[in-house]
Amino acid sequence: MLLSHAGFAAPAPRDTLHAHCASVGTDDTLRTPPPSLAPAIRRLFNIRSHYEAKAAYYRCADGAVKVCFFGANLPCGKANTRKNLPAVARWCETHPDTETIPLYVTGHDSLYSWHCVGAKAATGASVGALDARGFFENYWKTVK
């Protein structure tokens, strides 16, 4: 298997993509989409500007092709569900009673909002629903 940037697998050919996902069922590997998926990605994510394949991933989920168009605050990988983040704990030690901790501290993939109770880190509400595999549901769309 070829690896592309960030250790993700290289794209599969378009003509075999739907068949591949149908045969494997579920594969959590994030892959760069082939150029032939560009129209579907533009439509699904309402992208009006130039589309860059490097700004999206696809994966197989329950036999379907799913795509994610990521951005600064839109993680395509699995959510971080940990309730103990060392960076957040350090933040709270120096910023007690902070109501909202910046994403650059918590990570953009955290399932929870975070705040400080005194000098201790605490989780708040979840920031989104997860699918059965641990990905944020709202960021992944099915290619028909």
**Each residue's pLDDT tens digit, 24-74:** 999 999 999 988 888 899 899 988 877 676 789 999 999 999 999 987 678
- The whole-angstrom separation of Cα 98 and Cα 114 is 9
Bridge partners, residue 120, by sequence: 117
Q: How far apart are CA 103 and CA 27, in angstroms?
A: 28
**What gap in Å lies between CA 32 and CA 17, rounded to an integer?**
12
Q: Mind giving me the DSSP string for 60-107?
A: EETTEEEEEE-BTTB--SB-B--S--HHHHHHHHHSTT-SS--HHHH-
Question: Phi/psi of residue 33, each to 5°?
Answer: -70, 150
- Where do the structural domains in the chain lie, given as residue ranges? 5-69, 74-134
pLDDT tens track for 63-122: 999 999 987 678 999 999 999 999 999 999 999 999 999 999 999 999 999 999 999 999
Q: How many C-beta atoms lie closer than 10 Å to residue 97's C-beta?
A: 10
The chain-wide mean pLDDT, for the chain, equals 88
